[in-house]
């Protein structure tokens, strides 16, 4: 069975990406990868969102995550 706290963390992160997207005219959210690796549960939640098509990381070859919500992520929040 999935950890309820992990599900809540994923939902919170996705909602944050949604809010950031609309508050900043579709801009991506940039986060240093070092911060992500310091918190394993956050890394797991972000990996889940990316792996399941709710978010994308366009900073693959940098020291940053550059996260954007996808249309699938937006639809998930709106439902």
Tokens coding 25? 């005219």
Say how many Å lie between the first and final Cα of the chain, rounded: 24
Domains of the chain, residue spans? 4-78
Phi, psi for residue 34 in degrees, rounded to 5: -60, -35
User: What pLDDT sits at residue 2?
Assistant: 56
Residues in Cβ contact with 17 at an 8 Å cutoff, skipping those fewer than 6 apart? 29, 49, 55, 67, 68, 69, 73
The CATH architecture annotation of domain 4-78 reads Orthogonal Bundle (1.10)
One pLDDT digit (tens) per residue for the chain, 79 residues: 457 788 999 999 999 999 999 999 999 999 888 887 777 888 899 999 999 999 999 988 899 999 999 999 999 999 9
User: What pLDDT sits at residue 1?
Assistant: 40
Rounded CA separation 38/20 (Å): 23
């Amino acid at each position: 069975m999935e950890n309820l706290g992990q599900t809540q963390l994923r939902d919170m992160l996705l909602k944050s990406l949604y809010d950031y997207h609309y508050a900043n005219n579709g801009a991506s959210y940039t986060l240093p990868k070092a911060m992500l690796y310091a918190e394993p549960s956050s890394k797991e939640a972000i990996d889940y969102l990316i792996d399941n098509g709710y978010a994308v990381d366009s900073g693959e070859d940098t020291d940053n995550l550059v996260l954007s919500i996808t249309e699938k992520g937006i639809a998930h929040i709106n439902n």
